[in-house]
Amino acid sequence: MTDEIWIQGVRAAGAFHLITVAFASVTPIPANWDANLAELPDVHRRFAIAQNIFIGGTMILAGLVSLVFAPELVSGSHLARVICAAIALWWGARLLVLPWLRVWPELQGRPLLRAGFVLLHAECASFAVAYGWLALR
């Protein structure tokens, strides 16, 4: 593949990072999130909310970097490789964590959410592989 194709692919990945954050912000997983959080002690509730904010922030940052700096990420410079490795590791780790969350019971009878969760797995795997390849090439 040519660098131009990779640049367009990285830009598309950047857009998908942002689309994923947008969908995640309106996806009702788990059900009754607000009610369940309200039952937790304040410190646990703040940790859960902060964790979600950091996850979203990381995805937004990776998306913006991919959109704005795609040619640099494809260039193969040391800094580009480090950034691509970080993005690849983040998505790879997310792929490993998803099964541990045991979300499938929450998705019974909700075909769109089930499809979205399958697509999230595919996104994690493809981003881990693509950014990993850019980091190692």
Task: Retrieve residue 76's tokens.
Answer: 């193969």
pLDDT tens for 91-130 read: 999 999 999 988 888 888 889 888 989 999 999 999 999 9
Nearest to 133 by CA among 69, 85, 95: 85
- Average pLDDT rounded to a whole number, residues 16-40: 85
The reported pLDDT for the residue numbered 80 is 98
pLDDT at residue 67, rounded to an integer: 98
Residue 75 falls in which region: left (phi positive, over 0), alpha (psi -120 to 50) or beta: alpha
Domain ranges of the chain: 3-136
CA distance 119 to 123: 6
pLDDT digits (tens, 9 = 90+) for 38-75: 888 999 989 988 998 999 999 999 999 999 999 999 99
Cis before 30? omega within 30: yes
pLDDT at 29 over 70: no
**Residue 12 and residue 47: Cα distance in Å, rounded?**
32
pTM to 2 decimal places: 0.90
Distance CA 19, CA 13 (A): 10
